[in-house]
């Protein structure tokens, strides 16, 4: 995930989503962070994984300390 | 000088993570994608055994490479959205900068990039109908640094990262990857330096997918059997979909290597499923 986009998302996720042409359903899926919903909307599996970085439970995961 | 050594190895991050807390953290994230995948969660003892077995496999590969005394190591790997995104998704990319860097947890990597060999490959491609993308700046990621940690921890040689799009649809066919490998072999055989090639990735795994935790061991064993028989070209008629179904699209990196090794038989193979996500595979060719 683009680092500046990630940092801005931490501060104001709604504002960052507003920068993109997203449907209500897509925004809800992104808010939920649920990979099942995201994958159904066509999100690449690896990006579903990367979006977990926005989840407080996974924010400091070891996976982000490598690329 | 000819191509003198060929190696292939998985690049799964948990190969280089420490058994225990780091593995647990890694598994917690991966299993959050599909909780059923945790059914075969490895114990600490199994994690340690896997690390030990991987180190043994890498030691065998490193010994073969060092015996061949290469002067440059081509590293064929895939990007995972670190350098390339949908705004620019090259099918094949050659690095032509002066140096490359990367970091994996507490491990830092910094190598001289063999841009002359890179440019020679790009030029040869133009002549032969393979129009590579190329660029000066890339950031190394686990797809390169995990095997490099075990094979070339000290930057004694320059490397040459070459990227294959194995992840984003549409991806190149196994046949096309094999052709690219043949082209690399032609250039390597004309190079002044002794050239080694490393392909990374695989084997079967489904990261980010509902199938995470599944490993198609029989497909992986079939691939390794083909490598031992020197029949890599027999795989060119596989479709990307065939590989996708088996969780083996990163084998496209290995297909490039197989184009370079031709009918040479792998002299060493090793395989271990990690019970988390990936069938770890290793192979070496003495050329």
Is B211 in CB contact (< 8 Å) with chain A? no
Q: Give the tens place of pLDDT for each residue, B17-53.
A: 999 999 999 888 888 887 777 777 899 999 999 999 9
What are phi and psi for residue B283, nearest 5 degrees? -155, 155
Pick from B229, B241, B238, B234: nearest CA to B265? B229
pLDDT at B11 over 90: yes
Give the pLDDT score at A45. Answer: 87
- pLDDT band at residue B246 using 50, 70 and 90 as cut-offs: very high
- pLDDT band at residue B171 using 50, 70 and 90 as cut-offs: very high
Q: Give the tens place of pLDDT for each residue, B96-148.
A: 999 999 999 999 999 999 999 999 999 999 999 999 999 999 999 999 999 99
- Residue found by looking up tokens 């198609």 in the block: B216
Count helices and strands in chain A by DSSP H and E runs: 5, 0
> Rounded to a whole number, what is the distance in angstroms from the first to the last CA of chain A?
10
Per the CB < 8 A criterion, the answer to whether B205 and B277 are in contact is yes
Considering chain B, what is the average pLDDT of its residues? 95
Q: Do B26 and A63 touch (CB under 8 A)?
A: yes
Give the pLDDT score at B252. Answer: 98
pLDDT at A5 over 90: no
Q: CA dihedral in degrees (A62, B19, B62, B5; nearest 10)?
A: -60
The gap from C-alpha A11 to its chain's centroid, in whole angstroms, comes to 13
Question: And the tokens for B219?
Answer: 């497909």
What are phi and psi for residue B68, nearest 5 degrees? -80, -15
Strand residue runs (E) in chain B: 3-9, 72-77, 92-95, 99-104, 107-112, 133-135, 139-140, 159-164, 195-200, 268-273, 279-286
Give the pLDDT score at B238. Answer: 96
Strands B279-286 and B3-9: antiparallel
Which 8-state DSSP code applies to residue B211?
A: T
Tell me the whole-structure pTM to 2 decimals.
0.95
Give the pLDDT score at B165. Answer: 98
Give the pLDDT score at B41. Answer: 86
Is B139 in CB contact (< 8 Å) with chain A? yes
- Residue found by looking up tokens 């096309």 in the block: B176
Is B11 in CB contact (< 8 Å) with chain A? no
Query: Which residues in chain B (79-108) have CB-CB distances under 8 A to chain A?
Result: 80-82, 102-105
Residue spans of alpha helices (H) in B129-273: 142-151, 174-190, 217-229, 240-245, 251-261
Report CA torsion sign: A16, A22, A27, A30. Answer: negative
Chain pair A-B, CB pairs under 8 angstroms: 70
Q: Do B208 and A58 touch (CB under 8 A)?
A: no
- Residue found by looking up tokens 């059914």 in the block: B39
Question: And the tokens for A28?
Answer: 């809800």
Give the pLDDT score at B1. Answer: 67
Q: What is the rounded distance in angstroms from the CA atom of residue B213 to the CA atom of residue B30?
A: 9
Give the pLDDT score at A1. Answer: 66
Give the closest-approach CA distance of A22 to chain B in angstroms: 17
Q: CA dihedral in degrees (A41, A46, A50, A51; nearest 10)?
A: 10
Give the closest-approach CA distance of A38 to chain B in angstroms: 11
- pLDDT band at residue A21 using 50, 70 and 90 as cut-offs: very high
pLDDT at A24 over 70: yes
Pick from B129, B191, B131, B130: nearest CA to B160? B191
The ipTM value here is 0.87
The beta-carbon neighbor of B80 closest among A39, A46, A52 is A46
Is B47 in CB contact (< 8 Å) with chain A? no
- Mean pLDDT value of segment B185-211: 93
Q: Do A35 and B33 touch (CB under 8 A)?
A: yes
- Residue found by looking up tokens 């680092």 in the block: A3
Question: And the tokens for B28?
Answer: 């917690």
Q: Give the tens place of pLDDT for each residue, B222-236.
A: 999 999 999 999 999
Is B137 in CB contact (< 8 Å) with chain A? no
- pLDDT band at residue B164 using 50, 70 and 90 as cut-offs: very high
Within 10 A of A62 (CB to CB), how many other CB atoms are there?
19
Q: Give the tens place of pLDDT for each residue, B177-193.
A: 999 999 999 999 999 99
What are phi and psi for residue B271, nearest 5 degrees? -150, 135
């Amino acid at each position: 995930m683009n680092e500046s986009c990630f940092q801005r998302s931490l501060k104001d996720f709604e504002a960052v989503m507003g920068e993109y042409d997203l449907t209500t359903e897509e925004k809800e899926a992104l808010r939920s962070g649920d990979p099942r919903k995201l994958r159904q909307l066509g999100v690449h599996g690896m990006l579903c994984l990367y979006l977990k970085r926005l989840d407080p439970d996974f924010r400091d995961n070891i996976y982000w300390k490598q690329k | 000088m000819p191509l003198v050594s060929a190696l292939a190895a998985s690049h799964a991050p948990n190969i280089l993570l420490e058994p225990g807390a780091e593995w647990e953290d890694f598994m917690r994230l991966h299993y959050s994608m599909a909780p059923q995948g945790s059914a075969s969660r490895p114990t600490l003892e199994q994690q340690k055994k896997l690390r030990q077995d991987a180190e043994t496999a890498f030691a065998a590969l490193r010994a073969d490479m060092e015996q061949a005394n290469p002067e440059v190591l081509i590293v064929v790997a895939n990007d995972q959205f670190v350098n390339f995104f949908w705004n620019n998704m090259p099918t094949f990319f050659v690095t032509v900068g002066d140096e490359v860097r990367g970091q994996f947890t507490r491990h830092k990597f910094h190598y001289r990039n063999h841009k002359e060999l890179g440019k020679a490959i790009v030029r040869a491609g133009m002549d032969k109908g393979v129009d590579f993308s190329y660029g000066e700046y890339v950031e190394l990621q686990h797809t390169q640094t995990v095997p490099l940690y075990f094979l070339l921890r000290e930057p004694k040689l320059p490397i040459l990262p070459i990227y294959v799009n194995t992840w984003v649809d549409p991806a190149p066919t196994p046949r096309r990857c094999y052709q690219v490998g043949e082209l690399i072999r032609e250039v390597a055989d004309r190079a002044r330096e002794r050239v080694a090639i490393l392909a990374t990735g695989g084997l079967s795994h489904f990261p980010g997918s509902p199938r995470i935790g599944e490993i198609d061991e029989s497909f992986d064993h079939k691939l390794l059997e083909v490598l031992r028989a020197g029949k890599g070209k027999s795989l060119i008629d596989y479709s990307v979909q065939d590989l996708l179904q088996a969780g083996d699209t990163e084998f496209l990196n290995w297909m490039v290597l197989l184009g370079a090794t031709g009918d040479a038989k792998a002299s060493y193979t090793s395989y271990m499923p990690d019970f988390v996500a990936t069938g770890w595979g290793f192979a070496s060719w003495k050329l």
